[in-house]
A and B are shown apart, each in its own frame.
Chain A
Amino acid sequence: MTRAQKIEEKFFKLLMIIATYFILAILAIIIYSIFEKGLKSISWEMLTQVPHGGYYYGKGGGILNAILGSLSLAFGATVLAFIIGMPVALYLNVFLIRHKRVVSVIRFLLDLVWGIPSIVYGAFGFSLMIFFGLQTSLLAGILTVTLFILPIMIRSMDEILCTVPIGLQEAAYSLGSNKSEIAFKIFTRQSFSGIITAVLLSFGRGIGDAAAVLFTAGYTDHLPNGLLEPVATLPLSIFFQLSSPVPEVQNRAYASALVLTLIILIVSLFSRGLGKRYHKTKINF
């Protein structure tokens, strides 16, 4: 190696190290501040009760309304997006194999809608609600969040399905499989852990978003009570608590953020485990 190459290597190595630690440090600070402020205020009462009157001025109660609301909303939207998204991703990769140009246009469009801010989805969902005469409700929230996470779901599955080797497809076709057998028996099994990751990613985006649910799911101090009633969500709950002038309530916002973080952590550990277990036994069904 020449002297110049050595200097170049050192420089870029240093750059990468600095960038990596910088990101890790920011992550650590975020998690630390959530824990530091949140742990003080988190309590059994907060996890198990709905807000009492004057909760946002420092009186008693909890955020169970938002926890359950967020869970049911994100769960509903993820399931719906999966039901719609999975066939789309399979269609792109199996049925449109001879139409590469069409596929690349669809991919481009999906990437485009992926980039649209969630507040736009919120506004769109709101205008749909008015059109259908729907009020702010769990249903409207689920539908809006579904639209919002669909591109994420489809494209991240698509990226995984893309990697199914052509040789494996040839092998399966040569046995006389038709396209739906290739899609549902070969592609889904081969990409199982990647599909779980895609679902998880979508769930995380769905549960963490405030703007898409602001006009559509609304907000309430009550527990979720049917598809046509408004529900509270954790991101909005955090927002309302943080806007309070009372420091104690602001700390509760951090406690709520802690709850949201833990939910995402648990879901991702769970699905990781599922993916790993699957990987170990590599499809024994």
Chain B
Amino acid sequence: MDQDTKIEIRDLNVFAGKTQILKNVNIEIPKNKITVILGPSGCGKTTLLKCLNRLTDLYPELKVSGRIMIDDNNILEAKEDIYKLRQQMGLLSQRPYPLPMTIYNNIAYALKLRGIRNRRETHKLVMHYLQQANLWDEIRTRLREPASRLSIGQQQRLCLARGLAVNPEIILADEPTSALDPISSQFIEETFGRLRNDYTIVLVTHVLRQAKRIADNVVFMYLGEVIEQGSVEEVFGNPKMEKTKLYLGGTFN
């Protein structure tokens, strides 16, 4: 595996019953860059993301085969410490799901899973991660309120802070701004921009402009297949495949 590659996906196939969701997917995801997985709805982007942290385990109907190497470790075979493995990755889903606890405890819960129980340290880190997610100034006086009372945009940033709190190396984001207003979306994108040098970020989106704005690398998928992948300049500036050209031109979806 290449030094600069963080995640290497080889011959990944996913079946749901008889339907094939992912077809022979091969992707290389570079370290500490933003890789955008682009494609129309229903092309398997979300399933691909769920394979990366083995959330596919929650869906008995999904059959996954192939290899996903993260730092020379095939995570599809990792049997015992799946929980530890998931902590290497922070997840940001389409809709924010704050845990049913206070704002403070949402972060503290993640810290506890990481093994931090010391009160003073917890306190310091809660503040640190909320600042990182651009949320601290808005909610510093509301830490003991239930997280469900925050606005959707704030909840999404809370989820980002919570994801960072487990100290991951990778951030997986599944259309994280699709439910948000423009201002909150901008907050999230800005945060990603600041994090790009320290984390390997995999962002799923169907929004072309978003991809163009923040991507280092682009993977274009269509109907479960990888059509084209490369740097953002290559894929957007000089697409090689017909389908990519059509999608970028806005001809389909």
Contact = CB atoms under 8 A, between A and B. Distances in A.
A159 to B, nearest CB: 18
Given A175-B113, A176-B84, A282 B53 contact: no
8 contacts: A167-B94, A168-B99, A173-B55, A174-B55, A175-B162, A282-B149, A283-B100, A284-B144
Interface of A: 97-100, 165-178, 181, 185-186, 189-190, 281-284
6 smallest beta-carbon distances between A and B, as pairs: A174-B91, A176-B87, A282-B146, A171-B97, A189-B100, A98-B60
A84 to B, nearest CB: 24
Contact of B100 (A99, A166, A170, A186): A186
A169 B86 CA distance: 13
B58 A173 contact: yes
Given A175-B110, A181-B113, 6 more contacts: A167-B94, A168-B99, A173-B58, A174-B172, A175-B87, A283-B101
Chain A interface SS verdict (over half) = helix
Contact of A171 (B57, B87, B99): B99
A175 B55 contact: no
B30 interface: no
B89 interface: yes
Interface string B67-106: 0000000000000000110110111011101011110000
Contacts of B232: none
Contact of B102 (A97, A167, A173, A284): A284
Q: Which of B87, B91, B101 has the most CB of A within 10 A?
A: B101
Contact of A281 (B84, B86, B146, B163): B146
Contact of A97 (B58, B91, B162): B58
Contacts of A165: 97
A283 B146 contact: yes
B159 interface: yes
Given A169-B58, A171-B159, A176 B83 contact: yes
Interface in B99-120: 99-102, 109-110, 113-114
Q: Chain B, interface size: which category?
A: 20 to 34
A177 B99 CA distance: 12
B148 interface: yes
Kindly name the residue among A99, A165, A284 whose own CB sees the greatest number of chain B CB atoms within 10 A: A284
A168 B106 CA distance: 12
Given A176-B166, A189-B101, A190-B100, A171 B93 contact: yes
A74 B100 CA distance: 31
A267 to B, nearest CB: 25
Given A173-B86, A174-B53, A186 B146 contact: no
Given A282-B148, A284-B146, A174 B163 contact: yes
A100 B58 CA distance: 11
Contacts of A189: 99-101
Nearest to B50: A170
B149 A167 contact: no
Contacts of B87: 175-176
A96 to B, nearest CB: 10
A170 B57 CA distance: 10
B58 A174 contact: no
A99 B89 CA distance: 26
A170 B93 contact: yes
A176 B113 contact: yes
Nearest to A177: B113
B91 A185 contact: no
Contacts of A185: 99, 109
A236 to B, nearest CB: 42
B80 to A, nearest CB: 12
A189 B146 CA distance: 12
Given A283-B146, A284-B146, A172 B99 contact: yes
B81 to A, nearest CB: 10
A50 B53 CA distance: 65
Nearest to B101: A283
Nearest to B148: A282
Nearest to B149: A282
Contact of B89 (A168, A174, A177, A284): A174
Contacts of A172: 99
